Each structure stands twice: as structure tokens, then as C-alpha cells.
Amino acid sequence: MLKTPILHPDVLLGLGRLGHGSKVLLSDGNFPHATATPPTCHRVFLNYAPGLINATDILGPLLDTLPVERAEVMQPNRDGPYAMQDDPPIFAEYQAMLAPHGVDTLDPLERFAFYDAAREPDVGLLIATGEQRIYANLLLTIGVVKPD
């Protein structure tokens, strides 16, 4: 038995291949997992059923495992069928979880700019969740582990 917050072997394999500047994508259940990530991306599918497993369930152990220097989210549409006038409530949850780890802001990207960022070669790990809340996609840039 390992004594790390993450025990999933495929997630550990994916994380072990990454370093400073690499990116980890937590995707919600609506994200086009296979077509909106680079071919070299290691994909882990934890989207067992709608609502299982949520993005926040994955984020907590990730933050205890790796340093994060930046967090990007998909900016909600302000008009159209999926319009939201305010930020999605999950953004506040993300901010509350990220702040103790030194990430004070979420950087919003327009929808198609987010898809473009998710296709960049630096995205080395996708963790597909069963998150049902829309606009719950989160792109994390790995920071540096500083010496003691």
C-alpha cells in the first residue's frame, strides 16, 4: 500500500511523466476527451457514471501531490443555450481549494481558446470525471518542487 493521496496506478503513471510547465486537465462529463487533447496525452477515465467521480473529488488529492502554478477554466457563455450571467459555482469551489496551495486566481479562457489550450502538446494528462456541472473543466499547469 502506498502512502500518497493518490493510489490510482494510471494517474500516478501519467503524473510521473510530467514536470514543470506540463499540464493536467480535469474534464467534466461533457468534454470531448478523445478529440480535444493531443495524441500524446495520457488519458485516465474516471467517469464511471454521471456524477461519479466529481472534479472536486479528484482535485483535492492532486493538489496534495503536485505543485500548481496556474489554473485555467472555460469562461461561460453569456448568451445562447448554455448562458450563465455569473460564474459557475464550481469556480468558487476551485478557488477555495487552490488558494491554500498558492494559486489565488482562475484564468478564464473563452470556450474555443480553452479547447485550443487543451490540445497543446504540454497537456500530458487528462483525467475524465463524471462531473455534471457545466464549465467544470480545469487546466492545471505544474509548478516547481522547491528544495527544503
40 versus 3: the higher-pLDDT residue is 40
Any alpha helices (H) in the chain, and if so which ranges?
9-16, 55-63, 89-98, 111-118
SS3 (DSSP) at 71: strand
pLDDT confidence bin for 59, thresholds 50/70/90: very high
Q: What would the mean pLDDT of 101-110 be, rounded to a whole number? A: 97
pLDDT recorded at residue 138 = 98
pLDDT in tens, 27-50: 999 999 999 999 999 999 999 999
* Residue 24, phi then psi, degrees to nearest 5: -120, 130
pLDDT at position 1 over 80: no
Catalytic residue IDs: 20, 64, 115
The residues near 50 (Cβ < 8 Å, ≥ 6 apart) are: 29, 130, 132
pLDDT confidence bin for 5, thresholds 50/70/90: very high
Among candidates 61, 35, 32, 29, which has minimal Cα distance to 48?
A: 29
Taking a C-beta distance cutoff of 8 angstroms, is the pair 90, 136 a contact? yes
pLDDT confidence bin for 3, thresholds 50/70/90: confident
pLDDT at position 107 over 80: yes
Give the helix/strand (H/E) hosting 44: strand 42-45
Taking a C-beta distance cutoff of 8 angstroms, is the pair 59, 97 a contact? yes
65 versus 82: the higher-pLDDT residue is 65
Name residue 128's beta-bridge partners: 27, 45
pLDDT recorded at residue 53 = 95
